[in-house]
Amino acid sequence: MLNNRFLFGLLKPIADQSRVGIDDLIEGQVRGLAWWRASAVAAIGVGLALYHLNAGFFGTPEALLFRSTHLSAMLVLAYLLVPCCKTPPASPWQRRLAGAYDAGCLATAVVMSIVIYRQFPDITARVGWPNATDQIIFPILAFLVLEGVRRTLGWTLTILTLLFIFYAYYGNYFPGLFEHRGFSHHRVTGVLFVESAGVYGLPIAVTATYVMLFLIFAAFLLRSGAGNFFTDLAFGLAGRYSGGPAKAAVWSSCFMGSLSGAPVANVVSTGAITIPLMKKVGYRPTFAAAVEAVASTGGAFMPPIMGAAAFIMAEYTRTDYSQIILYAIWPAILYYICCTLIVHFEAKRMGLVGHPAESLPIVSEVLLRRGHLLLPIVVLIWYLSQGYTPAYAASYATLALFVLVMLRPDTRMNVRDFLAALELSVRIAVPTVMACAAAGFIMGTITLTGLGVKLTSFITLVAGESLFLGLVFTMLAALVMGMGMTTTSVYVIVAVLCVPALVNLGADLISAHFFVLYFGMLSNITPPIALAAYAAASIAQADPWRTGFEAFRIGFPAFLLPFAFVYAPELLLRGSAISVVTTILVSLGVVLILAKLASFSGTMIRTAMGEPER
């Protein structure tokens, strides 16, 4: 059984990202960090957010310089925020040693940031031909990235990245299909550092160009009170019905998750409100935690903000981000319809009733007081639908939000709120950027060694002509890798390695990418390491293992959904109007049946079912 210490170890990097901020500095209550560290975090966070906003409004600097500045600042933040040891060492000499190591890593990160910034004009001028200085900088940078990944995300992605770098150097000793001709340090440095295929490749480009601007938008939205607005709106709409708090939890987590794109962070933020309310009306703690975990996980599928993976998908498939959003809408709605139905059936089985109407927020008052917070999202969607770049759309949606929140006193932001939102947006991006930097090393190794082509051939050979077997192999790869890695890194790696094989077996390119994205996310509710479920269990004071399996049961229909839209791309709203409408209607009936199967309940929408009906 997982104990609390193990859970704390899993979740501490996430908790660390929400502990220290502008508010702490102003109030003189810096929790967890020394004052000078917290001040540095705030200064770098605000400065980097303004740097990205400037790039969003007026255009980015030279591409590689922009990416390197972004990564260098994030590396410094990683070392400022997260110590080398999750728990302080017991003996004084160990604490001094850990402090010296932290100081050395931080100093190295700062010096390397300055060196790379000053050297970058020369580095870009000799792309493909690294000199002796580059060959010294590269291993130091690789160490800093790997240590940053270890601190913020744990050992799994760190070890995997090390294995790929090892393969780049020593793959000539590997047997059979995976052998390559071998590469010198000069060549590896050229690809993984100097060229744009490695650490400064597509994943970091996406976080620097798009993701940061969307996180700034989300941070301003949350700071202005959107979290309470979405929760009040969901409770006002659903709270009076059977199992109302759980239904409200589903949809408030949907709204919040679509902004954050991070299932565990969403659980921690919304679950603190929704899980106690679900327990209060009679839901089992395990079920309440599982519902929150499943709902929070699905938020990353819900447009318009779907996390870094959606931006990377747009780049991989050369598809406009607005089209990716369109494709994602119906599967995400099906996911939440199914989750809502399961909650309803459980409530009917237990005989639960909703809250009295007088104890719930009045929807009209909620909309009147804070409904204007929805308008910036409308602005964002409008800009994307008109063909503007995601960076441009996010920048002007943020500007519209800042103007609109000043209209009413209860959402008005002062200077402190403005700075806190800027700093928060950068601080919560640190784990994603570390994951994308590691993914850059992995992608660069795949490009250098031709591993992607080899693995595609291997999957095609093993699966034969069976698309279904190829999908099963890809699902297992995404779920296993996702048990210890972020969704973005799982998506990047599995998409590069497996999607070409699925396309060779007959899958549609867009459907194959969504297939990988969904299973990368669903790893958050897949035991034995279901991080979103374990985070919810800690809030509900429930057994983590039981919560994980309960979340898997509730989310089981979602495991069938990716297979469905591979075989029926109409679920992604791709195809003729008649076929799309027909598929939508059929899918609603199928979701109802799947919800019944997943709920193990003997009730339908209003009444109990007899045996023949069941």
pLDDT of 412-457, one tens digit each?
Answer: 888 888 888 899 889 888 888 898 898 889 888 988 888 877 877 8
Pair (464, 404) in one structural domain: no
Query: What does the alpha-carbon distance between residue 366 and residue 514 come to, in Å, rounded to a whole number?
Result: 35
Write down the residue that tokens 């000799």 correspond to: 126
The last residue of a domain, from among 399, 430, 461:
430
Query: What does the alpha-carbon distance between residue 331 and residue 587 come to, in Å, rounded to a whole number?
Result: 10
468 belongs to a structural domain: yes
pLDDT reported for residue 9:
41
371 burial via Cβ count (<10 Å: 0-12, 13-18, 19+): middle
371 belongs to a structural domain: yes
pLDDT reported for residue 247:
79
Give the pLDDT band of residue 142 (cuts 50, 70, 90).
very high
pLDDT reported for residue 593:
84
18-76 residue pLDDT tens = 334 444 444 433 445 677 888 888 899 999 999 999 998 888 888 788 998 999 999 99
Pair (353, 496) in one structural domain: no
| CB atoms near residue 124 (< 10 Å) | 17
Q: Which residue has the higher pLDDT, 448 or 490?
A: 448
Query: Cβ distance 552 to 530 under 8 Å?
Result: yes
pLDDT reported for residue 28:
37
125 belongs to a structural domain: no
Pair (244, 273) in one structural domain: yes
Pair (595, 517) in one structural domain: yes
Q: What is the largest CA-CA distance in the chain?
A: 78
Pair (330, 417) in one structural domain: yes
566-583 residue pLDDT tens = 999 999 998 888 999 999
pTM, entire model: 0.77
Pair (426, 455) in one structural domain: no
269 belongs to a structural domain: yes
pLDDT at 3 > cutoff 60: no
The number of folded domains in the chain is 2
Write down the residue that tokens 């130091």 correspond to: 140
Across the range 234-253, mean pLDDT stands at 74
Would the CA dihedral through 215, 217, 219, 222 be positive or negative?
negative
| CB atoms near residue 43 (< 10 Å) | 12
DSSP helix/strand/coil, 603? strand
The last residue of a domain, from among 402, 430, 458:
430
Would the CA dihedral through 246, 251, 252, 257 be positive or negative?
positive
pLDDT reported for residue 231:
75
Nearest of 597, 462, 325, 552 to residue 471 by alpha carbon: 462
pLDDT at 368 > cutoff 60: yes
Q: Which residue range is the domain that position 296 belongs to? A: 204-301+322-430
12 belongs to a structural domain: no
Q: Among 40-44, 126-130, 191-195, 327-331, whose mean pLDDT is lowest?
A: 126-130
What tokens does 369 get?
């007081």
252 belongs to a structural domain: yes
Pair (394, 457) in one structural domain: no
Q: Among 1-15, 141-155, 325-339, whose mean pLDDT is lowest?
A: 1-15
C-alpha 19 chain-centroid distance? 19
Q: Among 217-226, 259-268, 429-438, whose mean pLDDT is lowest?
A: 259-268
329 belongs to a structural domain: yes
Query: What does the alpha-carbon distance between residue 425 and residue 406 come to, in Å, rounded to a whole number?
Result: 20
Write down the residue that tokens 């939440």 correspond to: 336
Pair (384, 262) in one structural domain: yes
Query: What does the alpha-carbon distance between residue 424 and residue 427 come to, in Å, rounded to a whole number?
Result: 5
Query: What are the backbone angles phi and psi of residue 243, rounded to the nearest 5°?
Result: 70, 30
529-546 residue pLDDT tens = 777 888 888 788 888 888
Angle, vertex CA 454, rays to CA 449 and CA 455, nearest 5:
115
Pair (472, 355) in one structural domain: no
Average pLDDT, the chain: 81
Pair (375, 503) in one structural domain: no
Nearest of 429, 448, 454 to residue 193 by alpha carbon: 448
Pair (402, 503) in one structural domain: no
464 burial via Cβ count (<10 Å: 0-12, 13-18, 19+): exposed
Pair (416, 525) in one structural domain: no
89 belongs to a structural domain: no
